[in-house]
Each structure stands twice: as C-alpha cells, then as structure tokens.
C-alpha cells in the first residue's frame, strides 16, 4: 500500500510516497522558501504527477491538537483535514515530529544504530527517544499488550537544568537575554550557536571573527581547530548526556535511550568519547541504574519519514509498534 509521508522540521520539509517501507518518490524543500505548507504540498503533488496516495501522515515539530498544528519553528499552521480535502486524500494524519521518530525507531535494523555503552536493551521496557536539530524533540515508547505505544511530548520546552557550574553560567546569560530558558534553547542547532557565543566573548575582544553556523562550530570543535568551538561542543555534549539521563530516569528506559535528530549522527565521534557516558550516568544514587541503560545514536537518514509512513499505514487513529525491536 502506498502512503504519503512527510517530515516537517524547522529547516526542511521532506515529503515522500512510500510503499511497504520503501521510498518510491521523495523531495526536500527549504521550508522558509515557502509562505505556507499548502504551497509545499502543491509543489510535491505537481512533481509526483499523479493522484496522491489515499492515506498520509505528516510529522511536524509542534504540539498537535485536533489534527492541527502550529509549527514551533516556522510561521505555518497546518490543518490535516483541510489538506486532505484539498488534495483528495481520505485521511491525512498530523503527528508530532518525535512521535514519528519514535515510531520509526521501532522499524530500524541493527545497522541503523550505534550503541554508546550500557548493557543490552531489556524487552518490554520503556524506550526514550530524543534528539536536537533545529529544536529538541522528545518522545517515549511504552510497552502495552505486546506492542509499543508512542507517547509524544513537548519536553524540549521544559526548563533547562544545568548539570554543572559552567552550564549554570550559560543559563544565567541566556536568562538575562530571553527570560525563560528551555532545554531546547541549549540543545539545538541555534543553542549550539548560543553556547559558542557565550564562550566567545574573550576571543571577540581580541578581534577574532566568530563562527555563526552550527555545522561550522561542530566541525571546528571536532577537528580541534577552534578552542572556543571545542569548548562549546563539550558543554553541548554534557547537556545532551544529562538530558538523556533525565529522560531515562523519568520513564525508567530499560529498553534504551535513542538519540535521533539531525545533530547527534554528525557529532558521533564526540559522543563516542567516555565523557558522554560519564555525564549520562552522573545521577548520584541512580548512577548504577543508568550504567545498565544502553544509549543508541540513530544513524538512519530518514527515521522520521519511516515513522510517518508507519503511522499513515496504521490509519488516522492507531500507531503501529512492535515489541520485538532492539
């Protein structure tokens, strides 16, 4: 069965026609080049050149209510029912982007995951899924009657809790600038830039030009060519590890913690260093519990699209999930 699947982030809108897990036709669109999502979908339908599949699911960064969502990092409001009527679909489901990512995690093969320590995942135990990109997504997979149910969250907008004194200094600086500081304010591409700027002040006084792009900062940090970038990347890693540990504790994620999103695979060499596990497990009396929980980096390039396709195939009400995944 063919379905329409979409993964709508703050940077790109990715649409595909998928059949039984195989992508038949796919397009990427720079989201900010379009005034609204209906225009994006119209472009995709025109390029597909035939009727769109009967069922679809769009994974969108934002809180979905009544099959409608205001995108968190875009000036778009997307209504699934209106789009279904406009483009001739029987049903077009909207899902939080990390609801789809979590559904996609259940379909991954072992080669789509890189384990960062811990023991084997325990069967029939909750799984935590999170990941920084343009924002920070979080979701939980809960075992229920031999399958997993996806619990979407907006945990990225919860308060940032600094894990150490250096991060506390960053929090104070961001609070002066923004007031409320969410964990997404730090754990995201823009957050990495904010962290770099925080550490850059001394270098800026010396007249050194700053880096402005998160990809540049990540690359310079991993290469060691810019000490300020490396310092920012090290703090980013500690905060990501601490937040992953927080989410693992909140749901007792014996089934594992899965780092998805656009940034984690790109900084995999840094995440493989022992400092990540140290920060993940640094939870006082709970350190022993976290030492057993495996962390996986999702290296599949389209986990959100895979998950959206699974949600679409299940229909507007149910999400498919298997309990036998790693």
Q: List, as residue ranges, the binding site for ATP.
A: 6-11
Instruction: Tell me the CA distances in angstroms from 162 to 182, 189, 270, one per residue in order.
Output: 11, 18, 20
DSSP letter, residue 159: B
Ramachandran angles phi, psi of 138, nearest 5°? -145, 145
Instruction: Tell me the CA distances in angstroms from 134 to 32, 184, 215, 223, 269, one per residue in order.
Output: 13, 9, 12, 23, 21
The most distant pair of C-alpha atoms in the chain lies apart, rounded to whole Å, by: 62
32-49 burial, b for 16+ CB within 10 Å, e for fewer?
A: eebeebbebbeebbeebe
Binding site listing: 6-11
Give the closest residue to 173 by CA, choosing from 134, 199, 154, 138. Answer: 199
Token pair belonging to 141: 């997979």
Q: Which residues pair with 151 in a beta bridge?
A: 140
C-alpha 163/C-alpha 145 separation (Å) is: 37
User: In this structure, how many other beta carbons lie within 10 angstroms of the beta carbon of residue 99?
Assistant: 27
Q: How far, in whole angstroms, is CA 44 from its chain's centroid?
A: 24
3-class SS of residue 136: strand
**Residue with tokens 């925080």, as numbered in its chain:** 198
């Amino acid at each position: 069965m063919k379905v329409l699947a979409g993964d709508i982030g703050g940077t790109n809108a990715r649409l595909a026609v998928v059949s039984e897990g195989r992508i038949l036709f796919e397009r990427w669109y720079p989201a900010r080049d379009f005034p609204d999502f209906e225009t994006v979908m119209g472009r995709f339908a025109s390029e597909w050149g035939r009727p769109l599949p009967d069922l679809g699911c769009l994974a969108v960064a934002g809180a979905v209510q009544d099959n409608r969502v205001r995108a968190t990092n875009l000036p778009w409001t997307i209504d699934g029912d209106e789009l279904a009527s406009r483009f001739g679909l029987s049903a077009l489901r909207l899902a939080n982007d990390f609801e789809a990512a979590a559904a996609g995690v259940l379909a991954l093969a072992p080669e789509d995951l890189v384990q960062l320590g811990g023991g084997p995942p325990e069967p029939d135990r909750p799984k935590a899924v999170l990941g920084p990109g343009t924002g920070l997504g979080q979701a939980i997979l809960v075992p229920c009657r031999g399958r997993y149910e996806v619990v979407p969250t907006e945990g990225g907008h919860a308060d940032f809790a600094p894990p150490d004194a250096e991060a506390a200094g960053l929090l104070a600086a961001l609070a002066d600038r923004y007031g409320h500081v969410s964990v997404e304010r730090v754990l995201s591409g823009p957050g990495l830039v904010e962290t770099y700027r925080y550490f850059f002040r001394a270098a800026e006084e010396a007249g050194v030009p700053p880096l402005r792009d998160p990809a540049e900062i990540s690359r310079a940090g991993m290469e060691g060519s810019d000490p300020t970038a490396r310092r920012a990347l090290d703090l980013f890693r500690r905060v990501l590890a601490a937040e992953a540990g927080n989410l693992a504790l909140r749901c007792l994620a014996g089934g594992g913690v899965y780092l998805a999103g656009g940034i984690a695979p790109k900084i995999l060499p840094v995440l493989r260093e022992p400092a990540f596990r140290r920060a993940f497990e640094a939870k006082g009396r709970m350190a022993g519990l976290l030492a057993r929980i495996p962390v996986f980096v999702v290296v599949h390039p389209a986990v959100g699209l895979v998950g959206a396709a699974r949600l679409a195939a299940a229909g507007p009400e149910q999400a498919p999930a298997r309990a036998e995944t790693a």
